[in-house]
Amino acid sequence: MTFQGWMLILAFVGILLALAKPIGLWLFALYEGRRTPLHAILGPVERGFYKLSGIDPTEEQGWRRYAVHMLVFNAALLFFTYAVLRLQGVLPLNPLGYAGLSEHLSFNTATSFTTNTNWQSYGGESTLSNLSQMLGLTIHNFLSAATGIALAFALFRGFARREAKHIGNFWADITRVTLYLLLPVCIVYALFLIASGVPQTLAGSVDVTTLEGVKQTLALGPVASQEAIKMLGTNGGGFFNANSAHPFENPTALTNFVQMLSIFAIGVGLTYTFGKAVGNVRQGWAILAAMMSIFLVGVTIVYWQEAAGNPILHNLGAAGGNMEGKEVRFGIAASALFSVVTTAASCGAVNAMHDSFTALGGMIPLLNIQLGEVVVGGVGAGIYGFLLFAILAVFVAGLMVGRTPEYVGKKIESREVKLAVLAIAVLPLIILGFTAIASVLDVGLAGPLNKGPHGFSEILYAFTSAVGNNGSAFAGLTANTPFYNGMLGVAMWIGRFFIIVPMLAIAGGLAAKKHVPESAGSFPTTGPLWTGLLIGIILVVGGLTFLPSLALGPIADHLAMIRGQLF
């Protein structure tokens, strides 16, 4: 570990915390439907969209109607993208003449981008046309991210409103988020990336002569526009197979730093938005403190392990940290930080191959996803996932003080606790269940590149990434098979929407409740004690559930390495 490495991590955290309030205030304006400086330009576009689609943005919806509209919208997007991918061979903007994708790969990819997972069982530059990248995938990057933020707004209204029957209008929420936040930021972001060397063209490739005099064909395409929303929307799907390790996606140390900041930016801002929505910004700061505490512990462990390197190689005379699978342009510190950022959020972009990390260094990204998108998490999904754990934490706190638990002025009763447990239980049930199936079937065991505990980790990571809607991979699993494409596609859909529906039910129930003022018997939910309780509940409920599987995978892998055995 180096001084420069720690300065990079501290600079990242410092800038991120400074961005929390301004981003949170902008999001709060969209949450309330208030006018922003961009309304003078984009207001007519918004009104024109409502007029063409017949939507009344002032007509609010109950939680059931909100959920139905959200599900129908996402199902329509899935079928549309499936059709684009299957018909790719006969559609325009296909300069390299790629054929349409198979049924199982089209299903997996369409589900992946609809659910904001962006798992890729293919190499983008060798599989997809420019039209598929733009019309099939980039559009999803915007709309799946906007859906997550809209759902967070709905839950915020559940906590903030009193004796109300409605939690907002899904169409108004998703339109405002896309039009006044994601699109303008991504236009500026894409211009920055283009200026930094990221391609943005409809050309399919260019032939170049290398320094050795060899001719090489380099894939090109509309990369910068997809890269911007890939990061800001915590999507993670790369235009190229190497993702953000590719110099056309991530050319410099500056772009690498900006990409990491953009992954966390909206998720961190939403914590402040929640505090403003419930009338107590300290509530938002308490949530952010818990998130950052878990994040910093994770970064420390990964950086320590990767900088320490492999003792087996040290004994052979190869001193230094673990540079396997890492870009020399970024080094160990930036790669370790990126790996924790992308898995603490539900992004999935990578600038190093997690399969090549040390056993414990690779375990932290895996554990981050298994905790349920609560360490900042995806745009919107992170904060509403965290609030589900907050409901459990305040229930435990209520038992401690011997009264009905309360959180931000709302009584947390059996209905909310049951729905929160139902949503949280989805992750371990599907992750562990599907991993077990893949670990005993021949079609599942044919996928891992490695044997032993490391091969098990590859299977476990794949289903963890799918259900957690992260999208990153250990990069050692051959997943483009009917078995894995089908199983992972189903896992992604369940991991996204089987959490959202119970969450919206909680929002509807909370909105109908009266406000309960704090009293001497109320458990404080803004101080260090509350932050510590939140972290404890997350680690106990989210972490210990997966401890046996981690013991079979990365922990066993680490112990084997100490004994001199590699897989």
What is residue 54's predicted lDDT score, i.e. its pLDDT?
A: 93
Helix axes 359-370, 281-308, angle to 10 degrees: 160
**Which has more confidence, 521 or 526?**
526
162 part of a folded domain: yes
Average pLDDT for 420-437: 94
What is residue 226's predicted lDDT score, i.e. its pLDDT?
A: 95
Give tens-digit pLDDT for 541-563.
Answer: 877 899 999 999 999 999 998 88
Per-residue pLDDT at 127 exceeds 90? yes
Determine the Cα–Cα distance for residues 429 and 338; give it in Å rounded to an integer.
28
Per cent of the chain over pLDDT 70 is 100
477 part of a folded domain: no
Query: pLDDT confidence of 258, banded at 50, 70, 90?
Result: very high
| CA nearest neighbour of 230 among 276, 261, 258, 263 | 263
Average pLDDT for 22-33: 96
Determine the Cα–Cα distance for residues 111 and 123; give it in Å rounded to an integer.
17
Per-residue pLDDT at 400 exceeds 80? no
Query: pLDDT confidence of 390, banded at 50, 70, 90?
Result: very high
SS3 427: helix
What is residue 380's predicted lDDT score, i.e. its pLDDT?
A: 87
- Alpha-carbon radius of gyration of the chain: 23
Determine the Cα–Cα distance for residues 333 and 6; give it in Å rounded to an integer.
8
What is residue 528's predicted lDDT score, i.e. its pLDDT?
A: 92
Please provide residue 215's backbone torsions phi and psi, each rounded to the nearest 5 degrees. -80, 135
Average pLDDT for 101-115: 96
Q: Are the CB atoms for 303 and 412 separated by under 8 Å?
A: no
Per-residue pLDDT at 403 exceeds 80? no
Query: pLDDT confidence of 475, banded at 50, 70, 90?
Result: confident
What is residue 342's predicted lDDT score, i.e. its pLDDT?
A: 95
CA dihedral 224, 140, 299, 243 (to 10 degrees): -50
Average pLDDT for 165-171: 96
Per-residue pLDDT at 534 exceeds 80? yes
Query: pLDDT confidence of 518, banded at 50, 70, 90?
Result: confident
What is residue 294's predicted lDDT score, i.e. its pLDDT?
A: 94
Per-residue pLDDT at 476 exceeds 90? no
Average pLDDT for 523-531: 89
CA dihedral 527, 532, 533, 538 (to 10 degrees): 130
270 part of a folded domain: no
Query: pLDDT confidence of 316, banded at 50, 70, 90?
Result: confident
Domain containing residue 48? 22-252
Determine the Cα–Cα distance for residues 555 and 565; give it in Å rounded to an integer.
13
Cβ-based neighbour number of residue 378 at 10 Å:
34
**Which has more confidence, 368 or 211?**
368
Per cent of the chain over pLDDT 90 is 81
Q: Give me the numbers of helices (H) and strands (E) for the chain, helices first please.
A: 22, 4
Q: Are the CB atoms for 117 and 81 separated by under 8 Å?
A: no
Identify the residue whose tokens are 């001193």.
319
Identify the residue whose tokens are 């320490």.
308
Average pLDDT for 26-52: 95
62 part of a folded domain: yes
Residue 206, beta-bridge partner list: 218
What is residue 319's predicted lDDT score, i.e. its pLDDT?
A: 79
Determine the Cα–Cα distance for residues 245 and 230; give it in Å rounded to an integer.
14
Average pLDDT for 260-264: 96
Helix (H) or strand (E) holding 215, with range, is strand 215-219
What does the H/E/C string look like for 216-248? EEEECCEHHHHHHHHHHCCCCCCCCCCHHHCCC
Helix (H) or strand (E) holding 208, with range, is strand 205-209
Cβ-based neighbour number of residue 186 at 10 Å:
27
Dihedral sign (CA 212, 215, 221, 226): negative
Average pLDDT for 67-74: 97
Determine the Cα–Cα distance for residues 330 and 336; give it in Å rounded to an integer.
10
Measure Cα distances from 243 to 124, 220, 251 in Å.
9, 14, 11
325 part of a folded domain: no
User: For residue 540, what are its two tokens?
Assistant: 């106990």
Residue 209, beta-bridge partner list: 215
User: For residue 122, what are its two tokens?
Assistant: 């293919």
Contacts by 257-260 with C-beta closer than 8 Å and gap 24+? 257/8, 257/12, 257/334, 258/189, 258/192, 259/231, 259/338, 259/349, 260/12, 260/337, 260/338, 260/341
Q: Are the CB atoms for 82 and 137 separated by under 8 Å?
A: no
What is residue 549's predicted lDDT score, i.e. its pLDDT?
A: 93
Query: pLDDT confidence of 450, banded at 50, 70, 90?
Result: confident
Q: Helix, strand, coil: what percent of the chain each, to 5?
A: 65, 5, 30
Cβ-based neighbour number of residue 59 at 10 Å:
11
- pLDDT, mean over the chain: 93
What is residue 467's predicted lDDT score, i.e. its pLDDT?
A: 95
Query: pLDDT confidence of 565, banded at 50, 70, 90?
Result: confident
Determine the Cα–Cα distance for residues 93 and 88; give it in Å rounded to an integer.
9
Per-residue pLDDT at 566 exceeds 80? no
Cβ-based neighbour number of residue 445 at 10 Å:
14
**The total number of structural domains that make up the chain:** 1
Cβ-based neighbour number of residue 1 at 10 Å:
16
407 part of a folded domain: no
What is residue 105's predicted lDDT score, i.e. its pLDDT?
A: 97
Query: pLDDT confidence of 202, banded at 50, 70, 90?
Result: very high
Measure Cα distances from 350 to 273, 295, 488, 501 in Å.
28, 17, 19, 30
Continuous H helices in 2-38: 3-32
Determine the Cα–Cα distance for residues 158 and 167; give it in Å rounded to an integer.
6
Per-residue pLDDT at 53 exceeds 80? yes
Determine the Cα–Cα distance for residues 137 and 115; give it in Å rounded to an integer.
11
Per-residue pLDDT at 374 exceeds 80? no
Strand ranges (E), 297-413: 406-407, 410-411
Identify the residue whose tokens are 């006018």.
35
Give the chain's end-to-end CA distance (angstroms, integer).
Answer: 26
61 part of a folded domain: yes
Query: pLDDT confidence of 334, banded at 50, 70, 90?
Result: very high
Strand ranges (E), 77-141: none
Per-residue pLDDT at 567 exceeds 80? no
